């Protein structure tokens, strides 16, 4: 079993980004600048956004955190987005999800200028990705593909089963694994809440991407010997014996699945860390106008 080590890989990628930022500064260019919009004060969202800001500084990017109150109106949020769209010193920005229930997420995402949509959630970027045109690839699937690439995990001709069909992970992940190229060239099955006999699919899978958001859902009996197992889950489970008051659990029952897997990602220390560096990478592409020239 080989551990797909997100900590090690993300550190490598951060070093590459830092070097590129230094090169930009050396030729008199300003560093890439990422902004994050955080509405309300959900604990997990606070942690993720704080981590994004921290990583920016580690590689020499500028970052701006736009904090807005939980009760902000949709119109006022759209005005904030328009300011970021128009601000020439900001290369890319994200609106942290989920948003409060009274706000239409889809409308907010569509208000982001595609050139600055470093999350890759705008329909223009989704459409471009599906068509194989230059596009920002959503950070979590991008990070997973980068892990498979750097560990040289063979994917061509393999059966990849993606559990979950979310707009931010399952859907783009399926498209990336099926598309021409390496990693890619997979036969892909998308499983979701209406799938009958889900275990019959996962037991056939050479590669499993668990992105359904149910802690320790994938157990050893659901996995073929030698499968590649990618765990996208991050659930906070209350645990008073832990100083933080919670522990993080993935969608995979790691201890029992790991001995059967050829490659597996841990949680924490796996996909989540790759997500953050992929967002930085997209911001670098934005600053260098590599997607939209």
Ligand X SMILES: Nc1nc(=O)c2c([nH]1)NC[C@@H]1CN(c3ccc(C(=O)N[C@@H](CCC(=O)O)C(=O)O)cc3)C=[N+]21
Question: Does residue 171 have a cis peptide bond before it, meaning omega lies within 30 degrees of 0?
Answer: no
Total residues contacting ligand X by CB under 6 A comes to 19
Catalytic residue of the set 5, 14, 52, 91: 52
The minimum distance between CB 173 and ligand X, in angstroms, equals: 13
When the beta carbons of 201 and 281 are compared against ligand X, the nearer one is: 281
> How many beta carbons lie within 10 A of that of residue 287, not counting itself?
23
- Pick from 32, 39, 48, 287 the residue near ligand X by CB under 6 A: 48
Smallest separation, CB 284 to ligand X (Å): 16
Closest CB to ligand X among residues 173, 234: 234
Residue of 234, 284, 286, 291 that binds ligand X (CB under 6 A) = 234
Q: Is 96 an annotated catalytic residue?
A: yes
Contact present, 35 and 19 (Cβ < 8 Å): no
Residue span binding ligand X (CB under 6 A) among the ranges 73-81, 82-90, 210-218, 272-280 = 272-280
In the complex, the smallest distance separating the C-beta of residue 236 from ligand X, rounded to whole angstroms, is: 7
Considering only residues 19, 22, 47, 73, which one is a binding residue for ligand X as defined by CB under 6 A?
47
- Is 234 marked as binding a ligand? yes
x/- string (CB under 6 A) for ligand X, residues 127-146?
------------x-------
Q: Considering the complex, what minimum distance in angstroms separates the CB of residue 95 from ligand X?
A: 6
Q: Does 188 bind ligand X (CB under 6 A)?
A: no
Residue nearest to ligand X (CB): 272
Q: Does 35 bind ligand X (CB under 6 A)?
A: no
Phi-psi bin for 213: left (phi > 0), alpha (psi -120 to 50), beta?
A: left
| Rounded least distance, CB 164 to ligand X, Å | 13
Q: Using CB under 6 A, which of 188, 248, 280, 285 touches ligand X?
A: 248
Residues 64-123, interacting with ligand X (CB under 6 A): 94-97, 119
30 annotated among ligand-binding-site residues: no
* Residues 147 and 118 sit within 8 Å (Cβ to Cβ): no
Q: Which span sits near ligand X by CB under 6 A: 23-31, 44-52, 143-151, 218-226? A: 44-52
DSSP letters of the chain? -EE--HHHHHHHHHHHHHHHHHHHHHTTPPPPEEEEEEES--HHHHHHHHHHHHHHHHHT-EEEEEEE-TT--HHHHHHHHHHHHH-TT--EEEE-SSPPTTS-HHHHHHHS-GGGBTT--SHHHHHHHHHTSS-PPPHHHHHHHHHHHHTT---TT-EEEEE---TTTHHHHHHHHHSSSSS---EEEEE-TT-SSHHHHHTT-SEEEE-S--TT-B-GGGS-TT-EEEE---EEEE-TTSTTSEEEE-SB-HHHHGGG-SEE--SSSSHHHHHHHHHHHHHHHHHTT-S--
Nearer Cβ to ligand X, position 49 or 198? 49
Q: Confirm whether residue 164 is marked as ligand binding.
A: yes
107 is in an annotated binding site: no
21, 59 Cβ separation under 8 angstroms: yes
Chain contacts with ligand X (rule: CB under 6 A): 47-48, 51, 94-97, 119, 139, 234, 248, 267-270, 272-273, 275-276
């Amino acid at each position: 079993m080989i551990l797909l080590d997100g900590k090690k890989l993300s550190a490598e990628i951060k070093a590459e980004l830092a070097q590129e930022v230094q090169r930009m500064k050396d030729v008199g260019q300003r560093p890439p600048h990422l902004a994050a919009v955080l509405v309300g004060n959900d604990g997990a969202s606070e942690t993720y956004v704080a981590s994004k800001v921290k990583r920016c500084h580690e590689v020499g990017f500028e970052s701006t955190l736009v904090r807005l109150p939980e009760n902000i109106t949709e119109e006022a949020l759209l005005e904030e987005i328009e300011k970021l769209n128009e601000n020439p010193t900001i290369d890319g920005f994200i609106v942290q999800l989920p948003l409060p229930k009274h706000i239409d997420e889809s409308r907010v995402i569509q208000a982001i200028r595609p050139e600055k949509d470093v999350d890759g959630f705008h329909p223009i970027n989704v459409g471009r990705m599906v068509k194989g045109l230059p596009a920002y690839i959503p950070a979590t699937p991008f990070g997973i593909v980068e892990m498979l690439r750097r560990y040289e995990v063979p994917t061509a001709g393999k059966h990849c089963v993606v559990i979950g069909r979310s707009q931010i992970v399952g859907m783009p992940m399926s498209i990336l694994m099926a598309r021409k190229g390496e990693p890619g060239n997979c036969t892909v099955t998308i499983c979701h809440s209406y799938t009958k006999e889900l275990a019959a699919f996962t037991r056939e899978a050479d590669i499993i991407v668990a992105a359904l958001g149910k802690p320790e859902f994938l157990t050893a009996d659901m996995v073929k010997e030698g499968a590649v197992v990618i765990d996208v889950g991050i659930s906070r489970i209350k645990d008073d014996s832990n100083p933080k008051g919670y522990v993080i659990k993935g969608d995979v029952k790691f201890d029992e699945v790991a001995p059967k897997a050829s490659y597996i990602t841990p949680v924490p220390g796996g996909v989540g860390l790759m997500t953050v560096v992929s967002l930085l990478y997209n911001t670098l592409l934005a600053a260098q106008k590599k997607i939209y020239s």
